[in-house]
Structure 1
Amino acid sequence: MQYKYLGNTGLKVSEVAFGGVEIGMPYGLKMSQAKHMLQKQDAIKLLHHALDQGITLFDTARLYGESENIMGEAFQGIRQQIVLASKCRHFRNPDGTLPDKFALKHIVRQSIHESLNALKTDYIDVFMMHHADLEMLEIDEIYEIFTVLQKEGLIRYPGISVYEVEETKLALDKGFWKVIQLPFNLMDQKQGIHFKQAYEQGVGIIGRSVLMRGLLTDKSFQLHPELRAVQDHILKYRQLFNSEIDNLVALAMKFAASFPEISSVLVGFDKIKFVDYALEIFNSKYLNEEQVALAKSLSYPDQGFLNLAQWDNNGWL
């Protein structure tokens, strides 16, 4: 396992991070039924195995079902061995509006205490605003409460989780957020335009959606008819296969790991064998310049269409 500094935070993290959503709630392609979920004790064994194999960065969120509770039980007594990232509750009301500024500060404080209690810890290494958007990033009171929580020692570093490139740009320009978690994969490469600025500012990048919830695996070839163009495009990546990379999962992971600005690549796991396979892939042997250039040229032409949350709402996943 290789380790990198998470921006200029001083935190050294494993090159692959454990994404905790799958141990807490149904997630991914065709995962709408709870019967697919891991039992708690199996999830704890999975977390322990990942740690034993050298994974040190574990990512969760207040809204990932039982994920925080399971991690809290798994890491009780060995908290100092891991770097823990979690995310605040969502801010927006069901109608899409934001609460008033006083209520926002209350949501953040209530959420951090809920997370601390569930995780059985007295601090979180990276505490993120979840689904941060342009409007949220302009609210002074959010910066105030994150600063207070940092001064109180409840969080070590503030971060955000974003979707759009404009959000990443604004967050970087604000100069406050120390870690940005963003989507980046073979299909959706638009966030790459901000990697240089993030690196120069010492902002740590955690890349997520490396497999696009399973789209960049063999499962992708049973997609909804509305995603036929996506399915056809995925087939183009086979031209990047070679003697060392002979499947889509390996290619997708090695592609994300080929960017030095990305401190850690977030991968969701629900089986020990998947942890072991990922560690075989993250072996410091990634794509060369020519392969990266070809992969960049094969990004999906309509980047705006790549909205997994909307696809989920449409019933396509």
Structure 2
Amino acid sequence: MKKRPLGTTGLSVSEIAFGGVEIGVPYGIGVESEADMLSQQEAIDLLHEALDKGINFFDTARLYGASETIMGNAFEGRRGEIVLATKCKHLRGKDGQLPADRQLKTIIETSLQESLAALKMDYVDVYMLHQVDAEILSRAVIADTFAGLKEKGLIRATGASTYFTAETELAIESGNWNVIQLPFNLMDQTHSQCFDKAAQHGIGLVIRSVLMKGLLSDRGKNLHPALSQVETHIQNYRRLLNENLSDLPTLATQFALSFDSVSSVLIGIDKKEYLHKALRTANGFYLDEKLLRQATQLAYPDPDFLNMTHWHNMGWLK
């Protein structure tokens, strides 16, 4: 698998990043409990196979259940072969408020120490804010604490996981974040407006939600009636398929990889078949100019409606 520079961090990452949420907690359409998940040994075997076959970039978080512990067990003795990104605990309290500066600093530092212990590592390559917003990005103590951890060698790069373009633009302009993880896919292409600016600032972009939790696959059928227009729109992409793009997941992943400013595409992998599919998809040959233009023109006309958290809360994703 080809590797791309992660912005100007000096890190080189595989075009596919192994998303670790599915091996740590029940996640995704049709996954209701631990009974639907891999055992820890099965997850370790899957991580080993991913690494052996060319994936070197692994993404996890303090809040992904057993994911960090599983990765720590899997990569013990192989630390130099991987690039590891993890995310800090959420900073807001149960009341939705951000605590005082001193407490924020403690949360960030304590969360990292817990991650390092679970991962059996003495540093992480990318340490990220999890679910940021404008207020979090504007609190100087947060960025200062991350910078201090970098100076101490506990992290190699700082990162932020964003949801909306305004947050991404703020993160870029602040100059505090080396890596940004953001949602981008065939349906919701709004973040493409940030790509050039991120590249100009030397920021590595990691794409998530490329398959919309599996909706951009065969799962995007027989959806809840409230999502009928979404289901109809998804079918439009099938006319772009050809002998090299045999299915929607391939098209969706290669679409994201067709942008030079993208460093890596995050794929949730909890089955060997998903791993093998990702490896076949990231083949170094992506959408040509004509096909890329056609795919770009097929963005969903109302991206604000594409709120999967809201869909889940409404019971539309069962």
Alignment of 1:160 onto 2:160: yes
Q: Which residues of 2 match residues 271-286 of structure 1 at below 5 A?
A: 271-286=271-286
Indicate the larger mover: 76-85 or 96-105: 96-105
Indicate the larger mover: 93-102 or 135-144: 93-102
Q: Which residues of 2 match residues 206-285 of structure 1 at below 5 A?
A: 206-285=206-285
What is the deviation of 1:34?
2.2
What is the deviation of 1:315?
2.0
Over the matched positions of the two proteins, sequence identity in percent amounts to 52
Alignment match, 2:141: 141
Instruction: After superposition, give the CA deviation of every residue in 1:58-106 in whole Å (9 maximum; x if it has no partner).
Output: 0000001110000000001111110000000011222322222221111
Once residues 237 and 88 of structure 1 are traced to their aligned partners in structure 2, the CA distance between those partners, rounded to angstroms, is 36
**Structure 1 pair 222–95 and aligned structure 2 pair: CA distance change class (3 A):** farther
Alignment match, 1:180: 180
Alignment of 1:105 onto 2:105: yes
Once residues 155 and 103 of structure 2 are traced to their aligned partners in structure 1, the CA distance between those partners, rounded to angstroms, is 20
TM-score by length of 1: 0.98
1:314 maps to amino acid: M
Once residues 199 and 115 of structure 2 are traced to their aligned partners in structure 1, the CA distance between those partners, rounded to angstroms, is 29
Alignment match, 2:89: 89
Alignment of 1:2 onto 2:2: yes
The CA RMSD measured in Å over matched residues stands at 0.9
Once residues 110 and 228 of structure 1 are traced to their aligned partners in structure 2, the CA distance between those partners, rounded to angstroms, is 45
Structure 1 gap ranges (5+)? none
Once residues 150 and 263 of structure 2 are traced to their aligned partners in structure 1, the CA distance between those partners, rounded to angstroms, is 22
What is the deviation of 1:15?
0.8
What is the deviation of 1:19?
0.4
Once residues 38 and 53 of structure 1 are traced to their aligned partners in structure 2, the CA distance between those partners, rounded to angstroms, is 20
Instruction: After superposition, give the CA deviation of every residue in 1:244-272 in whole Å (9 maximum; x if it has no partner).
Output: 11211111111111111100111011111
Once residues 99 and 311 of structure 1 are traced to their aligned partners in structure 2, the CA distance between those partners, rounded to angstroms, is 30
Alignment match, 1:294: 294
What is the deviation of 1:229?
1.2
What is the deviation of 1:311?
1.6
Indicate the larger mover: 113-122 or 93-102: 93-102
Alignment of 1:191 onto 2:191: yes
Say which SS state the counterpart of residue 222 (structure 1) adopts.
Answer: coil
What is the deviation of 1:281?
1.1
Say which SS state the counterpart of residue 58 (structure 2) adopts.
Answer: strand
Alignment match, 2:77: 77
2:281 maps to amino acid: I
Alignment match, 2:39: 39
Once residues 99 and 237 of structure 1 are traced to their aligned partners in structure 2, the CA distance between those partners, rounded to angstroms, is 45
Once residues 316 and 63 of structure 1 are traced to their aligned partners in structure 2, the CA distance between those partners, rounded to angstroms, is 24
Alignment match, 2:204: 204
Once residues 303 and 4 of structure 1 are traced to their aligned partners in structure 2, the CA distance between those partners, rounded to angstroms, is 29
Say which SS state the counterpart of residue 280 (structure 1) adopts.
Answer: helix
Say which SS state the counterpart of residue 22 (structure 2) adopts.
Answer: helix
Once residues 3 and 302 of structure 1 are traced to their aligned partners in structure 2, the CA distance between those partners, rounded to angstroms, is 34
What is the deviation of 1:167?
0.4
Alignment match, 1:27: 27
Once residues 296 and 152 of structure 1 are traced to their aligned partners in structure 2, the CA distance between those partners, rounded to angstroms, is 43
Indicate the larger mover: 251-260 or 28-37: 28-37
Say which SS state the counterpart of residue 254 (structure 2) adopts.
Answer: helix
Indicate the larger mover: 47-56 or 281-290: 281-290
Say which SS state the counterpart of residue 157 (structure 1) adopts.
Answer: strand
1:43 maps to amino acid: A
What is the deviation of 1:293?
0.8
1:72 maps to amino acid: G
How many equivalent residue pairs?
A: 317
Once residues 30 and 244 of structure 1 are traced to their aligned partners in structure 2, the CA distance between those partners, rounded to angstroms, is 29
Structure 2 gap ranges (5+)? none
